[in-house]
Structure 1
Amino acid sequence: MEDQRSEARRRALMPGKILLASGGAIDCVLRDRSASGARLNVVSVIGIPDAFTLVISTTGERRLARVAWRKQNEIGVGLSSV
């Protein structure tokens, strides 16, 4: 399978939060990232919307995220500025 990303991703192990429109949050871990995307580990993809705000806990950075793909405990997202 050919990698279709426009940028190479770098490994990362950073805690984050998926902010839900309802006011709740889901913990996640950024496994790798680039300027325009990331791979997130989650306990379950159930309940994660197609678009959300991602907060990177260590830096406080907030990014708009749109889900590109889902697996059992991982999601790939495209990132843009808030």
Structure 2
Amino acid sequence: MVGDEASIAQVLNRLRRAHGQLAGVIAMIEAGRDCKDVVTQLAAVSRALDRAGFKIVASGLRECMTGETGDGREPMTEEELEKLFLALA
């Protein structure tokens, strides 16, 4: 992933949090926890993944708008950004 270090750190933090939450959901299911508790935690995992995805897309949008990719590659086209947004919708 290309982007500034702060954005990458935020994405990784969110993904690590989601990873831990997902492990918790698996443990809850294995322990036979209440369905309501499991679904609540699963929704939290989903939100964490969505936020990480949106941060990645936002970084891509910034690169597209400024034309600065940081690695010499061409910035994303409008169509590529649209596909990324739709993938998260």
Q: Structure 1-normalised TM-score?
A: 0.23
Higher helix share: 2
Higher strand share: 1
Q: Which has the higher contact order (CA 8 A, sep 6+)?
A: 2
